[in-house]
A and B are shown apart, each in its own frame.
Chain A
C-alpha cells in the first residue's frame, strides 16, 4: 500500500491553457474524490467516483472542468481554458466503501496549480 499519489505536484500555466492532473488511489479503493483548496480555506468538494461511475458533481465544477475514471482505477481531472481563479491546490482522496458504510478518506499530497 503506497498511499494516494498525484501528479504533477506543481503546475504553472498561462491563462487560457488546458491542464490535466492525475490521481492514483490506494489499490482496491472503490471510491475516489476530488477536492479543491484555496489559500487559507478548507478543501471544497468537487466530485467523486464509485468505481468508474461519477456519482456526484459540485456546482463548483463548471463546464470547463471534467473528471474521468475510465477503468475504475486512476482518475484524471482536466481544466480547459484555465483562469486565474483556478489557482489552487487540487486534492485527491480515496476510500473503500461498501453498503453505504462510511469509511475514511485518505488524501494524496495534492497538485498545486498556478495560473499566470
Chain B
C-alpha cells in the first residue's frame, strides 16, 4: 500500500526567503509522485510530477522537487518565495488513485 507523510503541517517564511516542504512516501510498487497546490476555496493545481527519468523535477511558479529513492523522499523547494505562494501544498503518490499527504500550509510574511 502507498502512503505519504508531510512532515510539517505549517511552514511560515519571509518573502524572498527560500523554502523546503518535506514529503516522505511509502510504496511497494513503482513510484509516481506529485505535488499539488491548493489556493483558498479552490481545487488542486498540479505543480510538478515525477514519473521516471531525471530525479530533479522542475515545475510551475519556480518550484522544483528532487526524488530521492534511498531516503524515500520527494521534497519541494523554491529559492525565493512570493506572497502569492501562500497556499496549501499536497504531496501525493499514485497507483491508479492518488494518495495524498495531510498537506503543508505555507504562509509568506512580508
A104 within 8 A of B: yes
Number of interface residues of A (CB under 8 A): 24
For chain A, what secondary structure do more than half of its interface residues adopt (helix, strand, loop), or is it mixed? strand
Q: Determine if B44 and A41 form an interchain contact, defined as CB atoms under 8 angstroms apart.
A: no
What are the residues of chain B within 8 A of A42 when measuring CB–CB? 4, 6, 90, 92, 100-103
B96 within 8 A of A: yes
Q: Determine if A41 and B49 form an interchain contact, defined as CB atoms under 8 angstroms apart.
A: no
For this complex, 29 residue pairs linking A to B, each with C-beta atoms less than 8 Å apart, are A6-B43, A40-B103, A41-B103, A42-B4, A42-B92, A42-B100, A42-B103, A43-B90, A43-B98, A45-B97, A45-B98, A45-B99, A48-B97, A55-B96, A56-B97, A93-B44, A102-B32, A102-B51, A102-B94, A102-B95, A104-B34, A104-B46, A104-B49, A105-B94, A105-B98, A107-B36, A107-B43, A108-B43, A109-B43
| Contact surface of A with B, Cβ cutoff 8 Å | 4, 6, 33, 35, 40-45, 48, 55-56, 91, 93, 102, 104-110, 112
